[in-house]
Copies of this chain bind each other. A is one copy, B any other.
Amino acid sequence: MKAWKDNIRKIDPYVAGEQPDFPDMIKLNTNENPYPPAPKVEQAMKMQQAERFRLYPDTNATPLVKALAEFYHMEEDQFFIGVGSDDVLAMSFLTFFNSEKPILFPDITYSFYDVWATLYRIPYRQPKVDENFYIRKEDYMVPNGGIVLANPNAPTSIGMDASDIEEIIQRNQDVIVIVDEAYIDFGGQSVMPLVNKYDNLVVVQTFSKSRSMAGMRIGFAVANPELIQALKDVKNSYNSYTMNRPSILLGVESVKDVDYFYSTTNKIITTRERVKEELRKLGFIVPDSQTNFLFITHPKLDMNDFFNSLREHHIYVRHWNKPRISEYLRVTIGSDQEMDTFLSFANKYCKL
């Protein structure tokens, strides 16, 4: 074997949901938004001057920070912008989790957390969610090197009350608590206002779900200015210019179109509630969701078989061959038309 192979960082990479691309497919497998970005995004794109691309972008994505600070009524120095929330979260792990004690996150949660911990050699422990997939707050009141909670949680779709999260933050003031609110705009209770109360809290959100901009890669963290500066220092030690010009420009337009944002998130919530009721009528077990997806199972059906059958009919949902969740599917809420096709298939399948 070549000697250089000894010093290569070997890692089992995170495997993202498949990205099939057929004209007639129904893609409900990666929690993308069925609606286009705000109309102003398209207009701004067409107005862009390519001539400006020759210049480096703003390293702090200042126009986007200003727009977000205004929208959320926070200060500009409380924001950090990254290439999707994955970039922001990975950077946060590297910046904040340098203790010898294990960090804590649930056994069933976003499957990138253990990958980042492994990448950066951060010890971790995963308390089990209860039999109904609820996070038990007591599990996070033990000595630890930091905490990461997805709220609402993925792939379970279940949200936690802000008061329970506050209790966890309050009881862990010696470490950083990251709350990953990727899906918060679909009905969850954000803890962003608590950033002004607790200096150990980092709230992370994304433009990929509620803002229909997964293809633009924009995420952000909100925290006290000292934590934000630490993130910026690490980021500027990695790559000074991570956000390209179109992301900054189009991100601003998305934030400014407030009405469109509420109207599309509400449409998705309405569709989700309808689909949930329909699935329950078919005998599916469906926890109440605070996200743009449903986490479903059926006492009489094999979910892997159902997954494959959907797939054969070009309806893509997500399934994991993992302990505790192998009998569940995660189904993204698409347009009403897409969900009708899905429901009609589920209906026939249940009657087979």
Which residue of chain B lies nearest to A3 when distances are taken between CB atoms in the complex? B174
* A53 contacts B by Cβ under 8 Å: yes
Partner of A90, one of B49, B83, B239, B244: B239
B99 touches A7 (CB 8 A): yes
* A22 contacts B by Cβ under 8 Å: no
CA distance A176 to B48 in the complex (A): 41
A19 touches B50 (CB 8 A): no
Which residue of chain B lies nearest to A19 when distances are taken between CB atoms in the complex? B56
A59 touches B16 (CB 8 A): yes
A242 touches B83 (CB 8 A): yes
* A37 contacts B by Cβ under 8 Å: yes
B175 touches A7 (CB 8 A): yes
* A84 contacts B by Cβ under 8 Å: yes
Residue-wise interface mask of A (6-19) relative to B, using a CB-CB cutoff of 8 A (1 in contact, 0 not):
11111111111001
Interface size on A, residues (CB 8 A): 88
Which residue of chain B lies nearest to A40 when distances are taken between CB atoms in the complex? B50
Residue-wise interface mask of A (38-66) relative to B, using a CB-CB cutoff of 8 A (1 in contact, 0 not):
00011001101111111111110000000
A200 touches B2 (CB 8 A): yes
A200-B4, A212-B54 given; A217·B234 CB < 8 A: no
B7 touches A32 (CB 8 A): no
Which residue of chain B lies nearest to A208 when distances are taken between CB atoms in the complex? B56
* A69 contacts B by Cβ under 8 Å: no
| Closest chain B CB from A65 CB (angstroms) | 15
What chain B residues lie within 8 Å of A86 (beta carbons)?
238-241
Partner of A247, one of B37, B119, B244: B244
CA distance A10 to B94 in the complex (A): 11
* A307 contacts B by Cβ under 8 Å: no
B215 touches A52 (CB 8 A): yes
CA distance A9 to B91 in the complex (A): 11
A58 touches B19 (CB 8 A): yes
CA distance A90 to B234 in the complex (A): 12
* A96 contacts B by Cβ under 8 Å: yes
| Closest chain B CB from A215 CB (angstroms) | 4
22 CB contacts below 8 A, A to B, read A2-B173, A2-B174, A2-B199, A7-B98, A7-B175, A8-B98, A10-B230, A11-B234, A13-B233, A13-B237, A16-B59, A16-B236, A19-B56, A34-B54, A36-B51, A37-B53, A86-B240, A90-B239, A116-B238, A118-B237, A119-B238, A216-B244
